[in-house]
């Protein structure tokens, strides 16, 4: 992560709004609605002609990786020129694209950290976490980005746990300079899970027999078509070894992170209790329990995290800012161009993470679909 601003491929477009996380106010009126209707009519006409489906791919989207503009918004303004940036980790942690530009959660955090590293007026980062966890690799990628950012820039990161910061949600908090959790935060769930279904019994009932051609006897070791007695003991052992290896890495991250916090805060952070590994068995913990066990440093809400940041950077006042990718017609074009791929889904009023077969997850078990 370079400190030379000229080498940073990411750019900022400063917004004029200063309300909490909101877009700058725009003047509304009859002319604006007429203009918007004209634009939408033109877009619909282009879609009808089939132009957008092919033109979208050639448009440089603001927000595309390594070439996009970020807009900076002032969440809370002060009389000081010093600032602290807010970065959110919300929802399932994944390396899958979260928008039409191909941006992933890992990409988003990496780009924001690069912008912050090059801005001397930003003295630290508040990491707002509200996540049940997610993919092992994505969680580890974010962990490494946060760790490297602090080592290279010397700017502290204070993690603020919201309603949920479990499994991978705690994994990304571990390298932070200081961790704040609400007493009622759901956290912990330290462990690894690989989840799948065996549907051979159903296949037998409807008269379907699998026909498999493979290059080696372990090639279908994770297949849901195999009868339970057909699963090789060696295959089970290999999967379990992989789970155990990843779990050891999780515990290593926790131990290193808590040791780092103690060192950076001259022993003022909470240290892990001697038998902390007994609680790293997948169980969920309240914020209060996590504090008592040494997994977090302080109990409180986001305001408490802001106060702690002021103590760490020795500032009584500072602006709070955040970065957002602006609306892009390029993104709209690509969305419209994908209209042929539309599908109908049943909305049950709840959002559940979609897990992919064969992937390892740092994920709270009660959030598995």
Q: What average pLDDT does the segment 201-227 reach?
A: 90
The predicted pLDDT at position 325 comes to 82
Q: Which residue is catalytic, options 167, 189, 261, 269? A: 167
Q: Which residue is catalytic, options 3, 80, 121, 219? A: 219
Only one residue has tokens 């500032």, namely 315
Is residue 219 annotated as a catalytic residue, yes or no?
Answer: yes
- The Cβ-side half-sphere exposure at 34, using a 13 Å CA radius, reads 3
Q: Please count the residues of the chain.
A: 369
Say yes or no to pLDDT of 18 above 70. no
Q: Which residues pair with 74 in a beta bridge?
A: 321
Of 24-28, 110-114, 184-188, 191-195, minimum mean pLDDT range: 24-28
User: Domains plus CATH for the chain?
Assistant: 5-191+232-340+357-363 (3.90.226.10)
What is the rounded CA–CA span in Å between residue 175 and residue 308? 16
High-pLDDT (> 90) share of the chain, %: 57
Of 156-170, 272-286, 295-309, 323-337, minimum mean pLDDT range: 323-337
The residue that leads in pLDDT, 15 or 295, is 295
The predicted-structure confidence for 305-328, as pLDDT tens digits, reads as follows 999 999 999 999 999 999 988 766
Is residue 340 annotated as a catalytic residue, yes or no?
Answer: no
341, 166 Cβ separation under 8 angstroms: no
The predicted-structure confidence for 75-104, as pLDDT tens digits, reads as follows 999 999 999 999 999 999 998 886 666 789
Mean pLDDT, the chain, integer: 80
The predicted pLDDT at position 285 comes to 97
Element (H, E) at 175: none
pTM across the whole model: 0.75
Of 111-115, 207-211, 253-257, 286-290, minimum mean pLDDT range: 207-211
Read off φ and ψ for residue 123, nearest 5 degrees.
-95, -15
């Amino acid at each position: 992560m370079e400190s030379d601003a000229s080498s940073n491929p990411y750019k900022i477009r400063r917004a004029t709004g200063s309300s909490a996380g909101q877009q700058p106010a725009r003047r509304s009126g009859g002319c604006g609605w007429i203009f918007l209707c004209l634009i939408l009519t033109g877009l619909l006409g282009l879609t009808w002609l089939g132009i957008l489906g092919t033109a979208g791919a050639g448009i440089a989207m603001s927000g595309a990786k390594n070439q996009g503009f970020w807009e900076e918004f002032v969440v809370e303004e002060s009389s000081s020129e010093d600032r602290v940036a807010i970065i959110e980790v919300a929802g399932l942690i994944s390396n899958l694209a979260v928008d039409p530009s191909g941006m992933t959660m890992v990409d988003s955090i990496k780009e924001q950290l690069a912008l912050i590293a090059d801005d001397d007026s930003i003295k630290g980062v508040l990491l707002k976490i509200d996540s049940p966890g997610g993919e092992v690799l994505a969680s580890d990628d974010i962990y490494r980005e946060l760790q490297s950012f602090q080592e290279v820039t010397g700017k502290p990161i204070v993690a603020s746990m919201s309603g949920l910061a479990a499994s991978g949600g705690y994994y990304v908090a571990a390298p932070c300079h200081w961790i704040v959790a609400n007493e009622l935060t759901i956290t912990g769930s330290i462990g690894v899970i690989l989840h799948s279904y065996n549907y051979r019994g159903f296949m037998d009932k409807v008269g379907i027999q699998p026909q498999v051609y493979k290059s080696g006897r372990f090639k279908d070791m994770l297949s849901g078509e195999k009868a339970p007695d057909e699963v090789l003991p060696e295959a089970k052992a290999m999967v379990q070894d992989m789970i155990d290896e990843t779990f050891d890495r999780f515990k290593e991250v926790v131990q290193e992170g808590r040791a780092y916090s103690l060192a950076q805060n001259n022993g003022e952070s909470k240290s892990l209790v001697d038998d902390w590994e007994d609680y790293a068995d997948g169980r969920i913990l309240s914020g209060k329990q996590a504090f008592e066990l040494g997994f977090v440093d302080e109990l409180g809400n986001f305001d408490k995290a802001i106060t702690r940041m002021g103590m760490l950077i020795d500032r009584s006042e500072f602006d709070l800012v955040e970065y957002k990718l602006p609306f892009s017609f390029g993104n709209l074009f690509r969305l419209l161009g994908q209209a042929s791929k539309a599908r109908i889904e049943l909305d049950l009023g709840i959002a559940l993470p979609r897990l992919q077969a064969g992937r390892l997850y740092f994920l709270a078990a009660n959030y598995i679909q």
